[in-house]
């Protein structure tokens, strides 16, 4: 029996454990368990269906992302009747930010179910959010919109969505700083360079300057993370000035 048949048609103890684990997370019994297995199948497994199409969670991730956006948008529309389009868009972005989705995936320990040829310790943080979105997509295909909406209400909205707290939550310190610098007509620059040092992983260092003066420095394993870390440090150094404008 090939891997594809085994993963979707067998009835081993592992399958039973998967069914019970997913049922506990969902709060209801799946009808088509194969859809949920696909939601945790990493592309490194290199599995294809009978027509030769790749089988992994990425298409379900795309669908789940759309469902999350729709259901969160509906919630915000109903909960904040005075919010305009810009406000609603900003609030939705905070709820479905990659960082937040990664936290959701970690809280549910979804990586435990991932089938991959890559050791799980080698995955980055985004795997948690990716499979969370794929799970949402699987729910929609298996049970439809109502079940999908109920799951998001129970697992995302009720425990995590507090409108007042979200209004004060900063998504990106970099975006905040750039917007402030542009409004104040200040010249700013992110100077990025490799800074491996003695670390086994490649690191990048960033210097953030305003009008030629270095405001903050940071280093991280990616340019994006280093920029955000430096931006956060600069924001708190300039917070009293930013909040006055």
Residue 155 is classified by DSSP as I
> Taking the mean position of all CA atoms in its chain, how far away is CA 109?
14
Residue 33: which of 12, 2, 64 has the closest Cα? 12
- Marked catalytic residue, from 49, 115, 133, 194: 133
- Conformation bin of residue 93: beta by default, left when phi > 0, alpha when psi is -120 to 50: alpha
For the record, the structure tokens of 77 come out as 């529309």
Q: What is the pTM of this model?
A: 0.66
What confidence score (pLDDT) does residue 161 get? 85
pLDDT band for 197, please (50, 70, 90 cuts).
low
Between CA 98 and CA 128 the distance in angstroms is 9
Lowest pLDDT segment from 2-11, 74-83, 99-108, 156-165: 2-11
What confidence score (pLDDT) does residue 186 get? 93
Domains of the chain: 3-167 (1.10.1520.10), 173-244 (3.30.160.20)
Q: Is 133 a catalytic residue?
A: yes
pLDDT band for 2, please (50, 70, 90 cuts).
very low
Residue 54 host element (H or E)? strand 54-55
- Whether the predicted pLDDT of 7 surpasses 80: no
- Marked catalytic residue, from 49, 58, 61, 65: 65
What are the residues whose beta carbons fall under 8 Å from the beta carbon of 178, sequence distance 6 or more? 188
Q: Is 107 a catalytic residue?
A: no
Between CA 19 and CA 33 the distance in angstroms is 7
């Amino acid at each position: 029996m090939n891997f594809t048949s085994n993963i979707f048609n067998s009835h081993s103890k592992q399958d039973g454990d998967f069914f019970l684990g997913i049922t506990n997370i969902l709060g209801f019994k799946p009808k088509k368990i194969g859809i949920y297995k696909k939601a945790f199948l990493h592309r490194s497994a290199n599995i294809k269906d009978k027509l030769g199409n790749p089988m992994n969670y990425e298409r379900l991730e795309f669908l789940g992302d759309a469902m999350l956006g729709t259901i969160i948008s509906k919630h915000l529309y109903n909960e904040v009747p005075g919010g305009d389009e810009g406000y609603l868009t900003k609030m939705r972005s905070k709820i479905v930010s990659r960082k937040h989705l990664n936290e959701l995936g970690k809280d549910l320990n979804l990586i435990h179910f991932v089938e991959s040829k890559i050791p799980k310790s080698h995955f980055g943080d985004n795997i948690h959010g990716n499979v969370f979105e794929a799970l949402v997509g699987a729910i929609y295909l298996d049970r439809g919109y109502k079940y999908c909406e109920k799951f998001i209400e129970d697992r995302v909205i009720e425990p995590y969505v507090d409108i007042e707290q979200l209004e004060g939550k900063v998504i990106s310190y970099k975006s905040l700083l750039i917007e402030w610098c542009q409004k104040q007509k200040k010249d700013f620059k992110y100077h990025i360079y490799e800074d491996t040092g003695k670390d086994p992983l490649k690191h990048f260092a960033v210097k953030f300057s305003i009008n030629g003066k270095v405001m903050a420095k940071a280093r991280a394993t990616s340019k994006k993370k280093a920029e955000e870390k430096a931006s956060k440090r600069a924001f708190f150094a300039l917070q009293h000035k930013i909040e006055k404008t």
